[in-house]
Amino acid sequence: MKAVKTLLAIALAIGSTAAFAQEAASAPAPAASAYVPPPWTYKTKQLNRLQVDALLGNPKKLLIIDLRRPDELVKYGSFPAYLNLQVKDLPELLEYIPKDRTILTVSNRAHRAGQAGDILSEHGYKVAGAIGSEDYREAGGYITKVSAPAPAASK
């Protein structure tokens, strides 16, 4: 956990939202699935593609927090720049998240993002809302492919 906090502090100290190596998605989007989402039970607003696109238009004031595991990021992709943490770690990392930015929370179908948005809002953060990256992509939004990090070189 200390290593995560240190990495988070370094990423925020350089004024970045921590980006992973990414490449443009080359495969066409698959046809819409028969996915039926569970009911929305969060106080955080569930955003649509147009609302997210408006937020993305002002990146210097936006912090995207992606709540998915690294394997999900590689499988589904994400937005061009984001901070990646897990919901379970969020309460311990609050002090490292800047309060001067509007926050967009992201997960596959927005439910972890909704949960994280509620936690952040309860602690005084300005949360614009939550979105599922799959919902955004299926609505025609641009999601970039995320590459897995290269293995560490052995010494």
pLDDT for residue 152: 80
Alpha carbons 86 and 84: distance in angstroms, whole number: 7
Burial class (CB in 10 A: 0-12, 13-18, 19+), 142: middle
By residue range, what is the domain housing residue 98?
Answer: 2-146
pLDDT for residue 5: 55
pLDDT in tens, 39-74: 999 999 999 999 999 999 999 999 999 999 999 999
pLDDT for residue 51: 98
Residues of the chain with pLDDT under 70: 1-33, 35, 155
Q: Which tokens in the block code for residue 117? A: 């948005």
The reply to whether 154 falls in a domain is: no
143 contacts 72 by C-beta, under 8 angstroms: no
Residue among 154, 107, 99 nearest 133 (CA): 107
The reply to whether 114 falls in a domain is: yes
The reply to whether 30 falls in a domain is: yes
Q: Which tokens in the block code for residue 123? A: 């602690």
The reply to whether 42 falls in a domain is: yes
The reply to whether 81 falls in a domain is: yes
User: Based on the structure, what is the number of domains in the chain?
Assistant: 1
Residue among 75, 56, 74, 29 nearest 131 (CA): 56
Strand 145-146 and strand 62-66: pairing?
unpaired
Task: Give me the CATH number covering residue 73.
Answer: 3.40.250.10
